[in-house]
Amino acid sequence: MGRFNIASIRGVKAPSKSPSVPWSSSQPSHKILYVCTGNIARSASAEVISTHKAHGSGWTFESAGIGAVVGGPVAPFIDEELSARRLNFAPHRGRQITSSMVKEADLILVMELHHLDWIVREWPQYRSKVHLLKQMARLRAQAGRRSDPISYMNLTEDRPTKADNIADPFRKGKKAAKIAVQEVEEALEIIIPWLGNVAGVNNS
C-alpha cells in the first residue's frame, strides 16, 4: 500500500497530502502525456492526480486515448474514486491523441503494452520517450538519486513486461475501478518526487 490515502469508494473522507517535493521556483516547464484507450479512466486519473500532487512544480500533465471517448467525462466508479480523494476531475473530457501531443511531450506514459505498440506504429521517431507508467515507477529504484528522469527514461533499454500493465477498468465495475486508480496512484507516488531531479533537486 502506498503512502497515499486509499479511501473506499463511498462514505470516507480522505484528504490527500502531496508528496514532499522541494520544487524549484526556477524550474523549466516539462510535460508528461498519459495515454490509455478511452481517456476517461486510467490516463484521466493519472492526469488529475499528477496535476494535484505536483501543483506548482513547473511540470504540466495531459492525457489522451488511442481510441478516445472524445468529449466524454470521467467514467463511472472512476469518478467516485477520484471524488473520495477530493480531486477535481469535473473539467476532464476525453481527447484523442494527436501528433502534436506526442511531439510536445517530454515523456509519454501509457497504461498497457498495446498502447505503447500503437503509438510507436504511428510515430516511430518518438519511441524513446514512450514507456509504461508502472515501468517508470519500477525503474526508479535502479536509476540513482540524481538521475534526470527524462534522460534516464529516454535512454533506457529496459523492456516493459506484462506486470507493468494496468488493466482497463471500463465497464468492469467498482472493484476494477478501485484497483486501477490505486495502481495509477501508487506508481505516481514514486514518479512524482523523481520529477524534481530535472531541476537538479536532490530527491531520494
The per-residue pLDDT for range 17-76, each reduced to its tens digit, is 444 444 444 455 899 999 999 999 999 999 999 999 998 888 999 999 999 999 999 999
Summarize pLDDT for 121-169 with one digit per residue, the tens: 999 999 999 999 999 999 999 998 878 999 999 999 999 999 999 999 9
Look at residue 28 in the predicted model and tell me its pLDDT: 59
State yes or no: pLDDT of 2 exceeds 70. Answer: no
Q: Kindly report the pTM of this predicted structure.
A: 0.84
Give the C-alpha distances (Å, rounded to integers) separating 162 from 4, 22, 91, 109, 172: 25, 33, 32, 15, 20
- Across the range 69-91, mean pLDDT stands at 97
Rounded distance between C-alpha atoms, residue 72 and residue 43, angstroms? 13
Report pLDDT for 58.
86
Q: Which residue has the higher pLDDT, 82 or 27?
A: 82
Confidence check: pLDDT of 11 > 50: no
Task: Strands of the chain (E only): list them.
Answer: 30-36, 59-65, 107-110, 130-132
Residues 118, 16: Cα–Cα separation, whole Å: 34
Is residue 77's pLDDT more than 60? yes
Alpha carbons 204 and 190: distance in angstroms, whole number: 10
What CATH fold (topology level) applies to the domain 30-196? Rossmann fold (3.40.50)
**Contacts by 5-10 with C-beta closer than 8 Å and gap 24+?**
5/85, 6/182, 6/185, 7/84, 7/85, 8/84, 9/77, 9/80, 9/81, 9/84, 9/174, 9/177, 9/178, 10/80, 10/84
pLDDT at 9: 28
